[in-house]
Amino acid sequence: MKRIDKIYAYLHENTQKLSREDLLGDKGFETGEMADRLDILRNNVSKELQELLRADKIIKIKGRPVKFLDKSALEAVLQIKIGECCVEVDSVAQLLAEKEDEDPFRNIIGAEMSLKNQVEQAKAAILYPPVGLNTLIFGQTGVGKTLFAKMMYNYGKHVGKFTDDTPFITFNCADYYNNPQLLLAHIFGHSKGSFTGAEQEKEGLIEKANEGILFLDEIHRLPPEGQEMIFYFMDTGSYNKLGETERKRKASVLIIGATTEDPGSYMLKTFMRRIPINISIPSLTERTIQEKIDIIKHLFVNEAHRVNKTIKISGEVVKALIGSVSYGNIGQLKSNIQLTCAKGFLNSINKRSECIELDFKTLSSDIKSGLFEIGRNHKEFAELDHILAAPLLVSPERYKAIIEETEEVPINLYKLIEDRISLLREEGMPDSGINQFIIAELNGKLKKFYTTFNKGNKDRNRISKIIDKEILDFAEQMKTLAETELARKYSDRFIYALSFHLSLFFKRLKEEKYDAKGCISSLADSDAELKVALKIKEIMSETFQVEVPEAEVAYIAILLKSVDEEKEDPVGIIVAAHGSSTASSMVSLVRELLGDGMPICAVDMPLHVSPKEILEVIIEKVKIMDKGSGVLLLVDMGSLYKFEATIIEKTGSNVRTIDMVSTPLVLEAVRKSSVFDMELEEIYQSLRAFKGYNNEASEKNDGNKAIVTVCTSGKGTALKLKEIVENVVRTLTTETIQVFPLEISELDKKVRVLQEKYEVLAVVGVKKAKVNIPFIPLERLIDGNGEAVLREIIKGRQLEILPQQESVVIKDLCEENLAQFLTFLNPHKIIGLLLNFVETLQRELKAEFDNAVKIRIVVHMGYALERSVIGEDLKCETEKEPVDAEIKRAVDKTCELFKAALNIALTEDEKYYVGKMLMPEEN
């Protein structure tokens, strides 16, 4: 190490150890002291210090004696950004006073690096006369869009544009996206009687934000009419409340929007033209390494402040935390840190320590895996090693609130720990048992938070094309009620099953075809479920204003009792093979074919590495990959079988090993784990006889084939599901495959009986059988993937496969939807024409629509034809957006099908709405 580097390292390490009080007391390091400690001549130390000062790496405190501090460490302790200059000050207190009077953007980590351009854009937006420039902030979930908007507001106060009384109003458009009328009423206000429930006049957010800022989070959730009202307000400064006919109201408001989506896909072009400033916030992975570390330090300081304890963090913990962030950016990182600190806090209470010490053992398995993720980037890993040579030490004194922050995790982890410890100790539970209990509860709460945080709205949007939103919302509320009452976790499959059942129930009531005959009159051992079912019946009667028969209670109770709880994590797959990249190559191919989210990892075994070292690596991988369902170890040589017993002993995990690994074997293992939700022993037994895809004919069963459908009962939804599956099978093969609808309560018993006469190829519906049979969830059948899985299952049994056709699920669901609303046209006769329209449109545009888009187009065009027949065509009352010329041409040409078949010519406005519907898909 060079002399100058040795001196700088000494300053950096020792400045980090100083507290805020030490620095404000002008504690620092003298030239003579450094010369003695480092055994370097004093004049040489002085020379190098001057060089470091010119390089802007250190700070000089003038006086007698002169003292020096490391600049970056000082900034971290004081939570300030000093700027790029050669700094000589009379005291640190003077420096801090000068910095605290500077603009608030300096408090944002990265303001001079990865966010420099964004900060300049924000300042320009605020300063532009007279009221500033409307701004759109976009970036992934958790990057800090709300924080950035608040900093813009604070900057406006800093430069004198705003005062402390200037409003900063925040509204999340997603809160009411299912009810556009209510959403617009919140933004613009409403007059008395403007809609049902509007009993008095109410001011809107525009009025509240007058002379200030209105921050619209998730602005892409605004419906088109809302966007039009907003951009009219941007242009003119005038607006009207809902229920008013003239825009006579005035306000001066700076609009700042935020979105996680591509603005071009969801926002009207006319709206986007009114927003001159577009600011993109980078994700955590796009930040510099130093910024990542600074963010982690800041978040740990916040936790230290909350518990009023110093926190010591090892370098491995920091690396793992950085690598653990996959989707939630700083928001997810903050939650991971809170969970880690909560576990460390628990340990510190047990040890009666005033310091929370966090090492690799403290981390949960999900966060531990981050160390291996970041290890893939050798350059970043080496740079982190250099920066994190010593553990981080943060103390409560370093805390500085940037703005009032909201807690990402809606629980106070530290209070929860203290309350649980007190309660469990009173009950006489030993400390070891208390630790296990609390850690399990923490993991459960945080896992639930992550699931909610990570889950998008794609599935819900898809199902909402088929099921009425009111029914879907009701099913979601009942899921929450059932989970609370029964202390049980239900998956989204419960929502789908209940939604379908209720949809058919209301349809039968409407058609006066409801028949309670054949329903189950009594349920054994289901008192708790019956009580909840009765509550749901009462809420259902009140919500939908219908008389709900007692028979429905039995069906709902069966559903509550039998639908699978939230699916466990799939079996982990580890591929271990000799060679520098053999295993990695196979895993890489599998991820490319099946997707990055597969539960699989690789262990490469270079020939120069000892078996003992490889065993240690595999043990760590097993700890990471085992999420509760066990791990399947696929190896290339039988000698690695000897590892299995040792791994089980060291990890306590359920592990099975198969040798002679090949790419087809790995593919089949991952498919059985992730696609078919099979358990470890099922996968192991089925793969032992696997000879590759081309040799599976030897496994063929020449007996009768069957598929089972399962819903809440053998009637209703299950029968509809049976009909859909039969139609799917007819399009896949000419072979005879019988479909049997079964009730949930008798699934396992009846399946075993069926297996005596049939080869049961799959179970389709809301519950997986407890035998080794592939399972296709109801939601997977609806989104189109289920048909592909069925095709693969049938193909794997060497049955004749027909050429691929249009989705039967789309046809059946669209036909049923249209049947409920069409009066003059026969949906059963026009469905073929509508599907032909979609197919022709795809060919014209050389595109492939997903199932949700196909369903949307079919239903929309069915309604359009009916409107044309009765002379009530849609009319566009607003300025038309430009529609892509190629889309317009394709729609015009494809609509000729209706002229030829039905002598119906759609108007230009009707065709415009079809083109507009396709625009987001093409951008």
* pLDDT at 701 (0 to 100): 44
Residues 6 or more apart whose Cβ sits within 8 Å of residue 223: 180, 183, 184
**Do residues 501 and 559 touch, judged by C-beta distance below 8 A?**
yes
Residues 6 or more apart whose Cβ sits within 8 Å of residue 765: 497, 708, 709, 710, 711, 718, 721, 777, 778
pLDDT tier, 29 (very low <50, low <70, confident <90, very high otherwise): very high
Mapped onto helix, strand or coil, the DSSP state of residue 88 is strand
The yes-or-no verdict on residue 400 having pLDDT over 60 is: no
Mapped onto helix, strand or coil, the DSSP state of residue 590 is helix
Q: What is the mean pLDDT of residues 659-679?
A: 78
pLDDT in tens, 856-871: 788 778 888 888 887 8
Q: What is the mean pLDDT of residues 668-681?
A: 75
pLDDT in tens, 737-789: 888 888 777 778 788 888 878 888 888 877 778 777 888 876 666 655 667 77
Residues 467, 469, 471, 472, CA torsion sign: positive
* pLDDT at 595 (0 to 100): 60
Higher-pLDDT residue of 892, 734: 892
CA distances from 60 to 27, 40, 65, 81, 92 (A): 12, 20, 11, 16, 10
- Kind of pairing between the strands at 758-765 and 704-711: parallel
* pLDDT at 280 (0 to 100): 93
Amino acid at the residue 922 = E
Q: What is the mean pLDDT of residues 252-262?
A: 91
* pLDDT at 312 (0 to 100): 92
Question: What is the average pLDDT score of the chain?
Answer: 78
Q: What is the mean pLDDT of residues 283-300?
A: 90
Q: For residue 380, which of 329, 322, 332 has the smallest C-alpha distance?
A: 322
**Do residues 393 and 358 touch, judged by C-beta distance below 8 A?**
no
* pLDDT at 404 (0 to 100): 44
Place of tokens 């407890």: 770
Alpha-carbon distance of 150 to 170, in angstroms, equals: 10
CA distances from 6 to 1, 29, 32, 52, 386 (A): 6, 14, 15, 12, 14
pLDDT in tens, 97-153: 665 556 788 778 888 889 999 999 999 999 888 889 999 999 988 898 999 999 999
- Is the peptide bond prior to 391 cis by the omega test (within 30 degrees of 0)? no
The yes-or-no verdict on residue 901 having pLDDT over 80 is: yes
Mapped onto helix, strand or coil, the DSSP state of residue 437 is helix
* pLDDT at 633 (0 to 100): 93
pLDDT in tens, 56-104: 889 988 877 889 999 888 888 876 777 655 678 888 877 776 655 567 8
pLDDT in tens, 822-843: 667 777 778 888 888 888 998 8
pLDDT in tens, 641-657: 678 888 888 888 889 99
The yes-or-no verdict on residue 7 having pLDDT over 90 is: yes
Query: CB atoms < 10 A from the CB of 268, how many?
Result: 20
Alpha-carbon distance of 846 to 840, in angstroms, equals: 10
Place of tokens 């003119």: 236
What is the three-state SS of 900-917? HHHCCCCCHHHHHHHHHH
Amino acid at the residue 330 = I
Alpha-carbon distance of 833 to 436, in angstroms, equals: 62
Alpha-carbon distance of 889 to 845, in angstroms, equals: 9
* pLDDT at 178 (0 to 100): 62
Q: What is the mean pLDDT of residues 31-50?
A: 90
Edge-to-edge strands, sheet with 737-743: 737-743, 704-711, 758-765, 775-777
The yes-or-no verdict on residue 411 having pLDDT over 60 is: no
At 124, which helix (H) or strand (E)?
helix 116-127
Q: For residue 600, which of 692, 668, 690 has the smallest C-alpha distance?
A: 668
Q: For residue 452, which of 476, 416, 482 has the smallest C-alpha distance?
A: 476
Specify burial of residue 99 (Cβ count, 10 A radius: 0-12, 13-18, 19+): middle
Q: What angle do CA 746, 752, 758 make, to 5 degrees?
A: 120
Per-range mean pLDDT, top range of 314-328, 582-596, 694-708, 870-884? 314-328
Amino acid at the residue 664 = P
* pLDDT at 454 (0 to 100): 42
* pLDDT at 250 (0 to 100): 92
Q: What is the mean pLDDT of residues 713-719?
A: 54
**Do residues 692 and 664 touch, judged by C-beta distance below 8 A?**
yes
Q: For residue 753, which of 708, 788, 795, 808 has the smallest C-alpha distance?
A: 708
Q: What is the mean pLDDT of residues 524-530?
A: 63
Per-range mean pLDDT, top range of 173-187, 233-247, 797-811, 818-832? 233-247
* pLDDT at 530 (0 to 100): 83
Amino acid at the residue 821 = F
pLDDT in tens, 437-464: 666 555 555 544 444 444 444 445 445 5
The yes-or-no verdict on residue 565 having pLDDT over 50 is: no
